[in-house]
Amino acid sequence: MGMRTFFCWIFMTTAALAQDAALQAQLENVYTVWRNAMIQNDYASWSKVTAAHRQVIVRNRLNSERRVFPKGIFEVPAAPPVLAALKNVQTKRNGRTAKCIYFGKIDFGVGGEPTDNLLVVDYVQENTGWKYDMAEFVSLAALPDVREEITRGEYSYIIKTPEFAPSGVVPTVPMPVPVAKYISKVYVFCPGRTVDVTVNKISKHRFGNAKEAELVMGGALDGKNEISYSVKGVPGGTGKEALAIRVYVFSQIDGVKPIKAFEYQVLEGGVVKGSGQETFELDAAMSATLLGK
């Protein structure tokens, strides 16, 4: 390597590091404003630094849970952690998306002794600048070797894990949903399979080799509701596992049990359809039960 080439390489490396540091500082300022807004119940500040699609997602969830907006934004079980006590181990940009990854004792202010784990913060760039999207806590309790590697400054696990890199795709703004009349959840039991479910063409869900329930955006409707699903096997699955897809509708009156409004179930060893498109009815009798009439 010639001296001229060497100095050019040094200059380019220094410039890249400066750009990374500038981006990190910019993103962390956005996070700090967002965190302060959450703590101070400041909707005006929250809306200025939160990505457009995330704002609609949050409002849709609150409407689907029949909670008050914007008050419900700030009714969270724990305070967002402070970044100053954590070590930034990676800041990456891909187009109009970016991720910052932090390592350390992530303290949500709920007591106990925090251990070393990862915090992943996502951002998107809009016309008015970078916006906060979401943060994810990644526990390393089951990965003690990875925890030790990161403590030593070895970040191969982070570099090799695709989920730790920004996608480059800015999510589209979802369709707003009104306040639900009935809170509803879709439940799926799908060992050995991936299941996609859509309720009323709005609420989209994906379950992978799981036993989980998710909130239906917009809730269940009076009268006819639509549900579509598709089922695919995953590596390691036998194709003989049991499967269940259900939709439950909940009452807000104490003592009234949820109503199972839809069910597709296949026992172990049975034949599972690859896809389906069906309807379920929330009739007057069900409504009366849910509303306590």
The pLDDT, as a whole number, for residue 16 is: 47
**Which residue's entry shows tokens 């955006």?**
217
pLDDT at site 110: 78
| Residue 154, CB-side half-sphere exposure with 13 Å CA sphere | 8
Q: How many CA atoms lie within 13 A of 110 on its CB side?
A: 9
Residue 175 DSSP one-character state: P
pLDDT of residue 3: 56
Average confidence (pLDDT) per 10 residues, the chain, 293 residues: 55 51 96 98 98 98 98 96 95 97 92 91 98 97 96 96 96 96 98 98 96 98 98 95 98 96 98 97 97 90
pTM, two decimal places: 0.89
Supply 39's token pair.
């703590």
CATH architecture of 12-71+78-164: Roll (3.10)
Beta-carbon contacts of residue 98 (< 8 Å; ≥ 6 apart): 23, 27, 91, 92, 122, 123, 124, 125, 130, 166
For the record, the structure tokens of 83 come out as: 């970044």
- Give the total residue count for the chain: 293
Where exactly are the structural domains of the chain?
A: 12-71+78-164, 183-291
Sign of CA pseudo-dihedral 6, 7, 11, 14: positive
Each residue of 107-120: b (16+ CB within 10 Å) or e? beeeeeeeebbbbb
pLDDT at 111: 76
Give the helix/strand (H/E) hosting 243.
Answer: strand 243-250
